[in-house]
Structure 1
């Protein structure tokens, strides 16, 4: 039975442009689209990626970030008396490079494999987002990518099962939930917190709707008994560092 609960507040796209003081190319800057936009197998029409190896493609066609988290970030920064310029990014949707912005859907309420009808498209949650150092540059905070990972406020990706037009105001109708025990938050917890939970890793390796690269991480960890390094993904290269601001 279908279940229409949520609505799209904004659909966002971005083009490749210099990021930060050092000018690394990135398309993390997203802006709301007026009207409707075509969502195909590899993403939204007009949405670009600077590094196809790590962004976009069929398994990461659409990035969803809950607008609910924006208030949490602002409250944390205010409580820590931090007023860095990067906090102004939270004044508008698109700060985290998301393509889809909503309220009410979070990592704790959606599951890998969930199938949704959004406008004219059919999509399926494929994996959580793994944050990278470009978030730190974008927010002008050296630890931002690690904070996103540690708080597990990462957002998630969809694969496109059926292409079609989507736009702000569309309903988000859940049509299937094959893995109700595997929320996005649980996947993140197994990957980053309960890292040696072998039973959970075995289950994760066998989740047929989870992106193959994530299943491979679980399989490799089981085989080696070691946790993979995240340094190259999270730590800003020295050539891109412009500040030493921290989030408390």
Structure 2
């Protein structure tokens, strides 16, 4: 499968104190102006508050499909939060491609950069605070509409209207919707976990998770915590 789609939204933000007694957060993103430099750890103008669990080379850029926001709007949560592109702390927004359309390890040209899909998103409590929906992280996780992360294979520059172009698909048997479902499946067969933990394209922390599932009787508490 080959496709090209334009970048419709580009968002960045710095860490700030948001909630009394809670750690700072960079989940609030704002529309970026002009060309943005993309390096191994993400956009130079972007940031993550807690690098132990957010950001890093495997989670340099978060992509969330604009297509999903209509489903969240339809739920009519009791909140004044605006469910619109950029709202979930993503860096990249597009229309027309969702988790079932992309695969683990997919490599894209993004502006003059080159990026690779490394994992889905595992939402944390900050999404609850940010959206003012008590169980938003659980809702997002259970829906499978989590978006995904890229690692940066080649640094470059990105701006609105640049094309996101699929150039290589090494693992077509693992579309992102299947991978995300496996990540949160408490009854995942060990053989599947063993397969997944051996893909170098998969982010290190997700490989570690599947390694534990493949080699022990480990059962993870699926409640979203301080991860992102």
Out of 129, 140, 143, the position equivalent to 1:137 is: 129
Larger radius of gyration: 1
Which stretches of structure 1, 4 residues or longer, exceed 6 Å deviation after superposition? none
Q: Does 1:89 align with 2:82?
A: yes
- From 223, 241, 245, the equivalent of 2:215 is 223
Aligned 8 A contact 2:118 2:201 in 1: yes
Q: How many residues align?
A: 227
Counterpart contact for 2:123–2:224, Cα < 8 Å: no
Distance 1:203 1:223 in 2: 12
Deviations 1:71-129 (A, max 9, x none): 0101122xxxx4322xx321x42111000011112111110100000111000001111
Matches within 5 A, 1:58-77: 58-77=57-76
Partner of 2:101, secondary structure, is coil
Q: 1:18 maps to which residue?
A: 17
CA-to-aligned-CA distance 1:37-95 (integer Å, 9 cap, x gap)? 00000000110111011111111110001111100101122xxxx4322xx321x4211
Instruction: Tell me the TM-score normalised to structure 2 length.
Output: 0.93
Helix, strand or coil at the partner of 1:39: strand
Separation (CA, whole Å) in 1 of partners of 2:51 and 2:126: 15
The residue number in structure 1 matching 2:196 is 204
Structure 2: give runs of 5+ residues left out of the alignment: none
Q: What SS does the aligned partner of 2:100 have? A: coil
SS at structure 1 position matched to 2:202: coil
| Alignment partners' CA distance in 1, 2:101 and 2:224 | 30
Supply the distance in 2 between the matched residues of 1:173 and 1:196 (Cα, whole angstroms).
Answer: 32
**TM-score, structure 1 as length reference:** 0.86
